[in-house]
A and B are shown apart, each in its own frame.
Chain A
Amino acid sequence: MARLAGRRLLFAAPILLVVTFGVFAIAAASPFDPVKAYAGTAALGADAETLERLRDNLGVDQPFTSRWWHWLTSAVTGDFGQSSVLRQPVAEVIGERLVWSSLLCAVAFLVAVLTGTVLGVLAGRRPGSLLDRVVTSAAYSLEAAPVFWLALLAVWLFALQLGVLPAGGLTDTASEQVTFRQVASHIVLPAGVLAVSQLPWFTLYVRQGVSDALAEDPVRGARARGLSESTVLLGHALRSGLLPVLTLVGSRVPELITGALLVESVFSWPGIAAATVEAATAVDFPLLAALTTLATAAVLLGNLLADLLYGLFDPRVKFSDM
């Protein structure tokens, strides 16, 4: 297993390299000017000599390949440059926010997986039944709904109409400290919406897996042996039906990141996503480059996780074969 993980990581490294290279290539092809971005409005009043010195310092006149190499070699040591919009080292920006984004994603994913399994089993038990049709139609409709729209409607209903949950942020505006109670009440809406947006695909795949497994021989055999319905359903059908889904869990990381990006921006959650949007609006290249790299690393990690989970749950899979 460790060998598989090692080999996959070895494959991941070139992908990360190519992605960072691509990021620099896109920036080089775009009309983006690092000097203006770095100096901001101060560039307007600055004399030519200062700007020239700045150009020199930032290495603008070098080809983008050497700028990329310079960035890469310092990134390895943990130095991702300086964020021009937040006026803070990029590594620090990410470090501060990563905790909150991870917390949000983890809670949402857990809720989605648990709810999705329950709904998928209920619907997959009797394909074509009323419950199945309700769950399936709801899942398809939710899958088509933009997550930011769901988030806005949730704010309207729960924060404005019912007034039961806060509309956004991490803590109340009056509060100075981040306490557990505050975070717990503020995470309900964003995590709930993110979970709902990840729920449809999970429910549908579990449903498909369970209903397919119910038609197969092991289940027929279990029924013939007179096992109870719940044992057949949970012990046999769910177990084999869940297997293909587990491999998908890791591969859904991009969708989770996309969803988190939109949800965080609706709820002003102080995570990575809010920084991404801020960085994009202000064309903060160092921050954007680091965030893109980070997200890619997360996706690759998710893929690795999917492989490992698959081997863990299916004893027939040998790691040496993968």
Chain B
Amino acid sequence: MTCEPTATSGPVWRSYGVSRRSTRTVRVRISAALVAATVLAVFLVPPLVQLDQQAVDLSSKLLSPSWSHPFGTDDLGRDLFLRCVYGLRVSLLVGAAAALTATVIGTAIGAIAGALGGRADRALMRLVDTFSSVPHLLLGIFIVAMFRAGVWPVIVSVALTHWLSTARIVRAEVLSLRARPYIDAAISGGASRWRVAVRHLLPAVLPQAALAAVLMVPHAMWHESALSFLGLGLPTHLASLGNLIQGARGSLLAGQWWPTLFPGLFIIVPTLAIAGLAGAWRERINPRRRSELML
């Protein structure tokens, strides 16, 4: 049993079993490898593999997983592994677009609230409270229903429901920065508001905002797949992971589990990998908040 020399403040069972630092490193490495594999699969498989994911082959429909079709085939004889990779590509791109939009909105509102303070701050934070009182999926469903299903309504509805946490984080960061001596020093040194914002506030806020954006990608993917699963999300010709699961319902009721199982795993694995990697990143930029839970 290896005990970290610095862990004397806590009871002995805190460092039960293997050293926590080494398990953490292994976890981060696995997460990094999985994220890399996801990105590679999403960007390299489609151009490199010359197989058509839409190729219908009715003679080989609903084959269970085998060496030639590692994930089996669906009800139209399409290879499920390829379908899942393409689905992940669609889901990840939509998720990333939504997360990016949400982060821009959240950072802007959080920074304005934190920087202006006073009445504007209170009004904007009330807005955040109001938005967070509507269940996200329901608001998403409402927006998609009103604007009809499609790629843009989905991105907008996910972005509009996901900027709240970023706004809160950025506002808190700006508020704590405003109290720092170096900001006072810059202002008394004659720096303009704009210069303070761009040279001092932005670089300090950016890592937090970037982290929030990365952590939001799995959330956005999850939302997109939920909307698509309900039949309110992406159009069916864009086979996202949610659409794949929705499309597999018939096969599932006939007893074929693989068209349902694998697209779901393609949501879980990247989510865990991104969370693992972002967790390590967060510990690096906020070392004090190590024990906080990340959900």
Check B267–A149 contact: CB distance below 8 A.
yes
Query: A27 — nearest CB in chain B belongs to which residue?
Result: B146
Whether B17 contacts A145 by the Cβ 8 Å rule is no
- A122 CB-CB contact with B under 8 Å: no
Query: Which residues of B are in contact with A by a Cβ distance under 8 Å?
Result: 10-11, 13-18, 20, 129-130, 132-139, 141-148, 218, 222, 225-226, 229-232, 242, 245, 248-249, 252-253, 255, 257, 260-261, 263-264, 267-268, 271-272, 275, 291, 293, 295
A/B interface sample: 28 pairs, CB < 8 A: A15-B130, A19-B133, A26-B146, A31-B148, A126-B13, A129-B17, A143-B295, A145-B268, A146-B229, A146-B267, A148-B245, A152-B252, A153-B257, A200-B295, A204-B295, A208-B291, A214-B11, A215-B10, A257-B138, A261-B135, A262-B230, A277-B232, A281-B145, A283-B145, A296-B133, A296-B134, A299-B133, A299-B134
Asked whether A152 lies within 8 Å of B231 as measured between CB atoms, the reply is: no
Quick check: B229 and A148 within 8 Å, CB to CB?
A: yes
* The 4 residue pairs across chains A and B that have the minimum distance between CB atoms: A149-B264, A280-B145, A128-B16, A30-B146
Q: Which residues of A contact B226 (CB under 8 A)?
A: 146, 148, 258, 262
The answer on a CB contact under 8 Å between A144 and B275 is yes
Q: Which residue of A lies closest to B245 (CB)?
A: A149
Closest residue on chain A to residue B129 by CB atoms: A15
Is the C-beta of A69 less than 8 angstroms from some C-beta in chain B?
no
With A and B bound together, what is the CA distance between A6 and B16 in angstroms? 48
**Residues of A at under 8 Å CB distance from B?**
15, 18-19, 22-23, 26-27, 30-32, 126-130, 140-141, 143-146, 148-149, 152-153, 155-156, 160-161, 167, 200-201, 204-205, 208, 212, 214-215, 253-255, 257-258, 261-262, 265, 276-277, 279-281, 283, 285, 288, 291-292, 295-296, 299-300, 303
Q: How far is the CA of A144 from the CA of B271 in the complex (A)?
A: 6
**A residues less than 8 Å from B295 (CB atoms):** 143, 200-201, 204
Q: Which secondary structure characterizes the binding site on chain B?
A: helix
Q: CB distance A146 to B257 under 8 Å?
A: no
Determine whether the beta carbon of A144 is less than 8 Å from that of B245. Answer: no
CA distance A15 to B132 in the complex (A): 10
The one of B130, B146, B261, B272 in contact with A140, judged by C-beta atoms closer than 8 angstroms, is B272
Chain B, Cβ-Cβ closest to A258: B137
Given A26-B142, A27-B146, A141-B272, 6 other A-B residues pairs in contact with their CB atoms under 8 A: A23-B142, A140-B272, A144-B272, A253-B135, A254-B132, A288-B142
How far is A25 from B132 in the complex, measured between Cα atoms in Å? 18
Which residues of chain A are within 8 angstroms of B145 by Cβ–Cβ distance?
279-281, 283, 288
Q: A129-B17, A292-B139 are in contact. Are A262 and B130 (CB under 8 A)?
A: no
A280 contacts B232, CB within 8 Å?
yes
Query: Is B135 in contact with A257, judged by CB distance below 8 angstroms?
Result: yes
Nearest-Cβ distance from residue B34 to partner chain A, whole angstroms: 12
How many angstroms between the C-alpha atoms of A279 and B141 in the bound complex? 10
Complex Cα–Cα for A140 and B295 (A): 8
What chain A residues lie within 8 Å of B16 (beta carbons)?
A: 126-129
A281 and B231 contacting across the interface, CB-CB below 8 Å: yes
Residues of chain A contacted by B139 (CB below 8 angstroms): 292
Q: In this complex, what residue of A is CB-closest to B254?
A: A160
**Interface-central residue, A129, A253, A261, by most chain B CB under 10 Å:** A261
